[in-house]
Amino acid sequence: DVPRQTAAGVLVPAGAHEELWMDWRPAPGVAADAAASFLYAVRVTGDAVLVEETCLAGAPAVTVDELEVRLRARLAARGVAAGALHERVDFALLAPGPRRGRGWCGVGVRGTTLHPATGYSVAGSLAFAEDAVSALSTGRNPMSTDAVAAHRLRAAALRALLGMSAAEQRAFFEVFFGLPDRHVRAFLASGSGTTANAAAMAAAFGAAPWGLRRRLARAVTPPASRRRR
């Protein structure tokens, strides 16, 4: 039941595939209502581009094997030859179980440095390291109240994604990447605070069609409040 991110990637020669951020169109042979995944392509060396099919979040997530099938179907449709799988990704986006009291401090999936709605963690964890060492050396907890609150907002965004159909996820990202750049950057950055995250989420809610607004509202409403209604 733990939400996970999965992906399958291959290296292709530079020039064989253009760089892409998120191509949410279904892969050839994949039904429009099947669990959604997207393609991205990023140059990793002067000679190679990493092309990867990703399930952003799922509980259960699309398997790596299925993502490899989708990836190879996309590449074959473009006439791009691909060798062996270069990258396999499968990790949890939230840690199960409760936090461990006021003195608790964690990193990655056990803390606030893994973004539960995107899977980003490396840059956030590295940036956190110096602050953590400084705080612990003086007997302080480096996990600020604001960081925990911001993480809870991002976890609510993950719940919203998990509740969306494939079509709704595609529609949502059309809305999200149409927001002003300051909101997109604030939400994607693991170190942004509660105010910036709340502003980005409010902007997405305001720009979304009514069907998506219901999904977003339910994700940030405490379960007890929904039962009382």
Residues written for the chain: 229
Tell whether pTM > 0.85: yes
Over residues 202-229, the pLDDT tens digits come to 999 999 999 899 888 887 775 555 544 4
Tell me the per-residue pLDDT of 93-136, one tens digit each, with 9 for 90 and over.
Answer: 988 765 666 666 777 888 888 999 999 988 888 888 888 888 88
Q: What is the mean pLDDT of residues 56-64?
A: 95
Q: Is the pLDDT score of 145 beyond 90?
A: no
Q: What is the DSSP string of 181-223?
A: HHHHHHHH-TT--HHHHHHHHHHHHHHS-HHHHHHHHHHHS-H
Q: Higher-confidence residue: 28 or 124?
A: 28
Q: Which pLDDT score is estimated for 97?
A: 64
* Model confidence pLDDT, tens digit, residues 161-212: 999 999 999 999 999 999 999 999 999 988 889 999 999 999 999 999 998 9
Q: Is the peptide bond before 223 cis (omega within 30 degrees of 0)?
A: no
> What is the C-alpha radius of gyration for the chain, rounded to an integer number of angstroms?
19
- Whether the pLDDT of residue 8 is over 90: the answer is yes
The DSSP-derived string for 5-34 is EEEEEEEEETTSS--EEEE-SPPTT--TTS
d(CA 169, CA 167): 5
Predicted pLDDT of residue 199? 96
pLDDT at position 26: 94
The phi-psi region of residue 198 (left if phi > 0; otherwise alpha if psi is between -120 and 50; otherwise beta) is: alpha
| Residue 95, pLDDT score | 82
